[in-house]
Amino acid sequence: MIGGIAIALILGAVTWTFLEYCIHRWLGHDRRFRPNFFGEEHIRHHSEGNYFAAAWKKAVMAAIVLALLVGPTLLLGGGLLGSLYIAGIVLAYLAYEWFHHHEHVSPGGTRYGRFTRRHHFYHHFVDPKVNHGVTSPIWDFVFRTYRRPDQIGVPRRLQMVWLADPATGEVWPQHQGGYALRGPAPRQP
Ligand SMILES: [Zn+2]
Ligand SMILES: [Zn+2]
């Protein structure tokens, strides 16, 4: 039984990573599916850099996805395992929200954190048609949309708060191998 519980939770989390890829790639970036609720918010996230949709909008979107999943899941998986599978999806979704936000607001303290940031900011600033996974590149490998980032040119007006020294406007030395700022420098007073 313990094995079944763990498998249901893990399958739920893996399902979320797949949903994360599909929602981002097709609702966020495929013109055939626009306009749509997620796409509008996501384009703003790209064009304004540090814009994140309001919590209530995320909650509406999550409720719609859950409403579609709950019926078939409980029918197929039964009450307990079906509920745990849904719990796995919800927990992984909440972890994704936390993770994505932190990619934008903090430099990342681990190798994996730095890797996923480069993966994500390559998508943001170099090619929005690739690297759709935010918490991992797994589904980019599966769908052949993975690109290994070289140096990422970040528009100055969209830069992440952790990228450059606010006093000089220069990229911090530890990030210079991976990122460069482009666009006009702010005028010195
Ligand atoms: Zn982002
Ligand atoms: Zn995107």
- Dihedral Cα 29, 163, 157, 150, nearest 10 deg: -50
**Percentage of the chain modeled with pLDDT above 70:** 98
Q: How far is the CA of 1 from the centre of ligand 2 (A)?
A: 39
- How many angstroms does the Cα of residue 43 sit away from the middle of ligand 2? 7
Distance 166 CA to ligand 1 centre (A): 21
120 CA distance to ligand 1 middle (Å):
7
- pLDDT band of residue 72 (cuts 50, 70, 90) is confident
Give the CA radius of gyration of the chain: 19
pLDDT, position 27: 96
Indicate the average pLDDT of the chain: 94
Each residue of 88-115: pLDDT tens digit? 999 999 999 999 999 999 999 999 999 9
Q: Calculate how far, in angstroms, residue 88's C-alpha sits from the geometric centre of ligand 1.
A: 23
Give pTM, 2 decimals: 0.92
State the distance from the centre of ligand 2 to the C-alpha of 130, rounded, in angstroms: 9
143: pLDDT strictly greater than 80: yes
